[in-house]
Amino acid sequence: MIETKIEDTTAMVSTLKTPPPVKIPITRPYFGQEEQQAVEEVLKSGWLVQGPKVQEFERRVSEFVGCRHAIATNSCTSALHLSLIAAGIGPGDEVLLPSFTFIATANAVEYTGAKPVFIDIDLKSYNIDPAKIRSYLKTLPRNNPTWPKCILPVSLFGLCPDMAEINKIAREFGLVVIEDAACGLGAYREGHHAGTESLTGNFSFHPRKAVSTGEGGMVVTNDDTVAATVRQLRDHGASKTDFERHLRQGGSLLPEYFLLGYNYRLTDIQGAIGNVQMSKAREILHGRHQAAEKYHRLLTTIPELSPPHTPANYIHAYQSYVCLFKADRTGSDGDSDFDPEQIKKLNRERNRLMAALEKTGISVRQGTHAVHTLAYYRQKYAFNDADYPQAYIADRLSITLPLYHRMTEEEQIRVVQTIKACLAGR
């Protein structure tokens, strides 16, 4: 008994002598008292699902992005699924999407029975390369078993894809465009908000996003028919919304079900959090922007890391701050220079850097995935790593630095100084 007490005290003293490093998380959602109060209000009201708070959240998002309709769902993945169905995508169709994105983009296509066809990215923007979409479409044999019907570009890490060029190709080849704008809240291309230059835009409110409801998604569209279809599909295919039923006389009237729908509804608890978050959205986005600009300045002293690039007339939302490790050594200017052995070597170096940073309490991640290298897709479609070289490089060499609203200058300096020390082998 006494021995245990002595051991405990020793452990405590040694902890006091060398306190664990204060953690710098990869992100930190910006929640306060207002969100707590909003949740409490919903609990007291008794209307918990797809009620007035969700309706207000939809109005706020539609006004923010400048679209006629916004339809809340329980995630961006479900938003994408419904958008694809509403666009008539199904078995026998191909959907063209970037090979470097979160797996959910491709999964949503798989759910419909269509075939996801990966297109390599432009390493500078991390987004789908329109020139490669065009060359894929041009070389497609007429007897292809499936046929392209849709382009699904992504605003990766908060940077809009080249929608002008993508829409031009879509018009030329008769394809529909649906945007994965999961990371795109606050991102603009030539004055257009992410997700508003196509049939539908689809947003995520997961905690890794600037504005969060825990889980949550939103379909935005200017197409009245698509909006009506998505509204039904998210609610089991019901022809009448909960609102219409509750607010009319004889509210017990049950809806008809013409479509095979899903339960993709958002709760009012999440909607209420979303309303408070949207009222702070400009402030949050501004804070993240300032932190990103501070990183740009600090990173000029680290040539091993290339910071994210923003083309002229774009506004980056910085959902993530993703750098490329030793980009000058990748031979990435053209696919013909692609050297898998060199990328593997650099990948080991990047991983060592990431592990060293984690050890000091600084959370880092690779940007996202080259989806063709993930087991489900690799096995189902027999992909090789080298099939999409730029996506493979981005997968193996990207590194996301911590970024959040109200990240302090001291925290950012610590991140950058620690990277320098790790690279110097200290």
Ligand X SMILES: Cc1ncc(COP(=O)(O)O)c(C=O)c1O
* Site residues (vs ligand X, CB under 6 A): 75-77, 101-102, 104-105, 154, 180, 182-183, 204, 206, 208, 217
**Residue 328 CB, nearest distance to ligand X (Å)?**
27
Return the number of the residue (101 or 418) whose C-beta is nearest ligand X. 101
Q: 91-126: buried (b, 16+ CB within 10 Å) or exposed (e) per residue?
A: eebbbbbbbbbbebbbbbbbbbebbbbbbbbbbbbb
What is the smallest separation between the CB atom of 204 and ligand X, expressed in angstroms? 3
> Which token pair is 18?
């060398």
Q: Nearest distance from residue 383's CB to ligand X, in Å?
A: 19
Would you say 76 or 151 has its CB closer to ligand X?
Answer: 76
177 has which bridge partners?
Answer: 151
Nearest to 290 by CA among 422, 403, 144: 403
Q: What are phi and psi of 216, to 5 degrees?
A: 165, 155
User: Phi and psi (nearest 5°) for 67?
Assistant: -130, 150
Nearer Cβ to ligand X (194/353): 194
**Minimum CB–partner distance for residue 101 and ligand X (Å):** 5
Q: How far is the CB of 108 from ligand X (least distance, A)?
A: 8
The residue (of 154 and 364) whose beta carbon lies closer to ligand X is 154
Rounded to a whole number of angstroms, the minimum distance from the CB of residue 156 to ligand X is 6
Q: Name which of 208 and 236 has its Cβ closer to ligand X.
A: 208
Bridge partners of residue 231, in order along the sequence: none
How far apart are the C-alpha atoms of 17 and 65, rounded to whole Å? 51
| Closest to ligand X by CB, 86 or 356 | 86
Q: In angstroms, what is the minimal distance from the CB of 203 to ligand X?
A: 8
Number of other CB atoms surrounding residue 192 within 10 Å = 15
Q: E strands, 152-311, where?
A: 176-180, 188-189, 192-193, 200-204, 217-221, 305-306
Q: Within 13 Å, how many C-alpha atoms sit on residue 199's CB side?
A: 26
Least Å from the CB of residue 215 to ligand X: 6
Residue located via tokens 């607010």: 247
Q: Which is nearer to ligand X, 201 or 217 (CB)?
A: 217
Q: What are phi and psi of 400, to 5 degrees?
A: -95, 125
* Residue whose CB is less far from ligand X, 196 or 204: 204
388, 389, 390, 395: CA torsion to nearest 10: 90
CB atoms near residue 26 (< 10 Å) = 17
